[in-house]
Structure 1
Amino acid sequence: MELITISQVSMNYGISTRMIRYYEQAGLIQSLRKEDYAYRVYDEMAISRLRQIIILRKLRVPVKQIASILDNSDAAKTVEIFQQNINEIDSEITALATVKSILLRFVEEINEKTDINLKLLDDETIFSVISALSFSDNQIKETKEDLAMDKLNQASEELMKLEDKDVRIIYLPPMTVAAVYASGEGSEGKASEVLTKFIKESNLLKLKPDARSFGFDCSEGAAAIGEGSHVYEMWVSVPKDMSIPEPLIRREFKGGLYAAHVLRAWDFQDWRRLSEWVEASDKYDNDWGAPRWESAETVFGQGLEETLNFYNFIEKHNAEMNYLQLDLLFPIKEK
């Protein structure tokens, strides 16, 4: 039985090692440990399940539903899940087709009129266009084209593209944070364990129930497909006069402006999409790398991953992965 390393799996299937570890922590796949070998490896069964997961995610099936599909031999249950997703997609298609039809009618109106100053969007024009729509023409016809993987990838990427409505602009205020960093495979988990232990032993959330927690990959340069985070740093905001025990470090965050977007389904390609949104913005410039805190140990000015609903995540859910939700925060400045 051939065993494949997590890095090789990542390269073969074009997904990050962090996403693979998330699928494992969510119970969708299992890794193995070879004797005297430090890294995760995966057998043929795990790879087969991973391929299924990748395709189902590209078909926009939620992770919770994927678990039900893979762990349930009842075909009727799988059909029920697929039908539920089809119904949701049909609703989106109908809404988009309606908008498209109205826009097409407006184009026809403009082309038919010689008066370029016509009040195109007055109430009478809008209602006449809408009433003239033939909603039966809005139905999307099925095609017999093969659903090749490259077409599925293209469709998935188009559907995941970020628009203005998907991005929030927020200001993070200055704050004192306790920081810890770790390196090597699973560096995020290592840093998280140290930070969570500090939070519980110090009763931090009793002293500061509004504490916020952030993490970021502070590898030199972006980690390529097949590579994990070489170094990952995590923070929690603390009272300014609080004592910070080793191995944690006190840092003073200066605050700043960020483009924010909730990480969807643990697809870390959302970082790339958020970067593309910033680069295309006519209001904001990329401010990645600006010194918003000082660090002699790791890089600074990176994008941050904030744990949402942090108090409940720690106090009520004991930092369980199933309750973890991250906000991606990309540093920006106004043009």
Structure 2
Amino acid sequence: MTYSINELAALAGISARTLRYYDQIGLLTPGRQQDNAYRVYGQKEVDRLQQILFYRELGFSLTEVKQMIEADDYDSLKALQDHLLVLKEKQAQTGLLITNVEKTIASLKGELTMSDEEKFEGFKQQLINDNEKQYGKEIREKYGDDVVDQSNAKLKGLTARQYEQAQELSNQLNVYLKKAVEQGQPDSELAQKTCALHKEWLGYYWPQYSKEAHLGLAQMYVDDPRFKAYYEAIAPGGAEFLRDALKIYCS
């Protein structure tokens, strides 16, 4: 079965312009072209387009998609299995939010009483999912599945007030860190107070605290570009400063 560019665009629910652009950047090139130069797509291109659209739906850029599907170790079956897991997670999250909204509507109608914890259940699960997507691989490799799963369970168990306190503490921590970096002394009273706040903040999420784990996390802030970018936005050199201050705090 072959398709013209317009036929494939209609089949996939995208524009012919999009397919032309995919061809232009080498992401999806027609298998062959007829003598009249019309693009003709075969089964191989149809399957590749499906993969592309899966990845796009999951939020990957075209550059990232091209790198993944052209990698030497790319496995289309494994990719589909990974897609399925992510989609099931999104389905579960959507179901949780739907239930949350339905309960809220019923609560406003006076049909049931909704606890404060229930009101935020879906949002906390979304936070866990976002953290897993962005940092899950590195965190699990560093601390192990059991520790991460316990941390997620602790987050889900936070009361509305505890969750609010954790957010307030995070904001306060960032303010202290910025001022401490400006002072430039990791052993200053302000820098060490920042470390104490960071430990207190971890207490809302970590099932068990240890100095070794705290220092390991601080080093990951420096080594991982995503964490480092977060602290750079607070203050230039923020990740390195916090690590150095924590070496003193934990000594």
Normalising by structure 2, report the TM-score.
0.33
Structure number with the bigger relative contact order (C-alpha 8 A, sep ≥ 6) is 1
Quick check: which one's strand share is greater? 1
